[in-house]
């Protein structure tokens, strides 16, 4: 009998994923000239596509050229050429699976040295203690800016479908803009976008409606939310349950559950509790509670590295398991599982006491592996965190120079 892990997953839109294993989004920050996907990203996604995943979800693609999570972010707006994205979609589907584009706006989570805008629901900055200066100070969005941003998400989704992607995932987790609106700690508005959860969820719901209206019925639309922010007084599991119920009538195919933000980076790992075994499936305890009441299929991401853990997650009622770091280290892990094998290497753990620096180093280690895959090399998971962080900082400086040179030209083209 076929394992449920390798059984097809039909979605509400009519599309069918060939198995229950997804590569979750990881922020590659590897855009080429013009903030476009180039050969490195194509090579990386062909490598993953050949590894046996049923679904590849891209690292977040920016809907607004003036608001990037990092200077190497890919931008897909109304002005950029589609041909590089067509090549990206083709690379992602080369192994027989599907590819969805994760679409995102960073809101206030923009580095202080970046040009462009730093927006949020309110003027509440990112609090990282002595590292808070790494991020720009946000200004509260006006109603016109909110409505324009909703329209940008729809434009990016429409163009993603035109480029050949099979779906999009609206990113409303990890402390980015839509997640900021959901958070009662960050969203201190007193108008129709603030206060009770139904108001704080308004921008997300309007975005999903606009996206669904902009694409064909057979095009998949997913949403990524936090199962919890892991901050006292923040967005919690009960909020997540209610948001999933709000999304159900809007034509959503799937909700991915993750957790945390830059202020509380649970997505890079958190201590196991009595119901979370071996520091794997970080959010399974919360997902088990949500899956019982969820009217939509759920995907769980965070810390899954072994087939046994993946099957435990599916047994809980979760429809799709997502892996990030594990596939950066072992890109053919699904094919290994099918053959009865496991990964033979793991990323070097980051044990630094400074949580903000440790989270940055963890992301740098993962990006280091992705860059090696993109260059046609094998991963090097025993790379030291400090070395990976220094290499990442060099890449970021070069990317920032390119972005600074490109942005004025892009803004000029957009106003013509």
Cα separation, 115 vs 136, in Å, equals 10
pLDDT in tens, 143-196: 999 999 999 999 999 999 999 999 999 999 989 999 999 999 999 999 999 999
Is the model's pTM score more than 0.75? yes
Asked whether residue 265 carries a pLDDT value surpassing 60, the answer given is no
Q: Which two tokens stand for residue 323?
A: 């892996």
pLDDT in tens, 25-39: 999 999 999 999 999
DSSP secondary structure of 120-151:
ESSSPPP--GGGGGGBPPPEEPPHHHHHHHHH
For every residue of 356-402, which 3-state class applies, written as one string?
HHHHHHHHHHHHHHHHHHHCCCCCCCCCCHHHHHHHHHHHHHHHHHH
- Grouping H, G, I as helix, E, B as strand and the rest as coil, residue 175 is coil
Cα separation, 183 vs 139, in Å, equals 16
CB atoms within 10 A of CB 409: 10
Residue 93 DSSP symbol? T
CATH number (3.40.30.10, 2.40.50.140, 3.30.70.870, 3.20.20.70) of 4-344 reads 3.20.20.70
pLDDT in tens, 221-258: 999 998 765 556 678 888 999 999 999 999 999 999 98
For 413, the enclosing helix (H) or strand (E) is: helix 385-414
Asked whether residue 203 carries a pLDDT value surpassing 70, the answer given is yes
pLDDT value at residue 187: 96
Asked whether residue 132 carries a pLDDT value surpassing 80, the answer given is no
pLDDT value at residue 107: 96
Asked whether residue 280 carries a pLDDT value surpassing 60, the answer given is no
pLDDT in tens, 301-334: 888 999 999 999 999 899 999 999 999 999 999 9
81-101 exposure pattern, b = at least 16 Cβ within 10 A, e = fewer? eeebbebbbbbbbbbebbbbb
- Distant-in-sequence, close-in-space partners of 259: CB < 8 Å, separation ≥ 6: 173, 226, 227, 228, 229, 230, 266, 267, 270, 282, 283, 286, 302
Q: Which two tokens stand for residue 105?
A: 């706006």
Query: Do the Cβ atoms of 85 and 128 come closer than 8 Å?
Result: no
């Amino acid at each position: 009998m076929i394992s449920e892990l390798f059984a097809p997953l039909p979605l509400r839109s009519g599309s069918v994923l060939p198995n229950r294993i997804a590569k979750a989004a990881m922020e590659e920050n590897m855009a080429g000239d013009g903030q476009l996907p180039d050969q490195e990203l194509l090579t990386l996604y062909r490598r993953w596509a050949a590894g046996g995943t049923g679904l590849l979800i891209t690292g977040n693609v920016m809907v607004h050229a003036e608001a990037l999570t990092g200077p190497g972010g890919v931008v897909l707006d109304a002005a950029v050429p589609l041909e590089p994205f067509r090549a990206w979609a083709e690379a992602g589907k080369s192994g027989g699976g599907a590819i969805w584009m994760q679409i995102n706006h960073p809101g206030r989570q923009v580095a202080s040295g970046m040009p462009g805008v730093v927006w949020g629901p309110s003027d509440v900055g990112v609090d990282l203690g002595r590292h808070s200066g790494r991020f720009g100070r946000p200004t509260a969005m006006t109603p016109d800016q909110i409505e324009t941003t909703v329209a940008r998400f729809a434009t990016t989704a429409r163009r993603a479908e035109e480029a050949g992607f099979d779906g999009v995932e609206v990113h409303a987790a990890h402390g980015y803009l839509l997640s900021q609106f959901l958070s009662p700690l960050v969203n201190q508005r007193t108008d129709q976008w603030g206060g009770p959860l139904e108001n704080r969820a308004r921008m997300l719901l309007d975005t999903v409606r606009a996206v669904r209206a902009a694409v064909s019925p057979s095009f998949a639309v997913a949403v990524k939310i936090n199962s919890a922010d892991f901050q006292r007084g923040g967005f919690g599991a009960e909020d997540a349950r209610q948001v999933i119920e709000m999304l159900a009538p809007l034509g959503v195919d799937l909700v991915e559950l993750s957790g945390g933000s830059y202020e509380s980076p649970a997505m890079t790992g958190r201590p196991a509790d009595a119901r979370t075994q071996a520091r794997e499936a970080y959010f399974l305890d919360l997902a088990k509670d949500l899956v019982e009441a969820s009217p939509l299929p759920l995907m769980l991401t965070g810390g899954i590295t072994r087939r046994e853990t993946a099957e435990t997650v599916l047994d809980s009622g979760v429809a799709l398991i997502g892996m990030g770091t594990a596939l950066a280290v072992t890109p053919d892990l699904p094919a290994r599982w099918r053959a009865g094998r496991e990964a033979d290497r793991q990323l070097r753990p980051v044990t630094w006491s400074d949580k903000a620096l440790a989270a940055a180093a963890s992301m740098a280690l993962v990006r280091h592996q992705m860059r090696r895959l993109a260059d046609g090399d094998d991963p090097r998971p025993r790379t030291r965190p400090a070395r990976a962080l220094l290499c990442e900082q060099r890449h970021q400086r070069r990317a920032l120079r390119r972005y600074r040179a490109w942005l004025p030209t892009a803004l000029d083209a957009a106003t013509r």
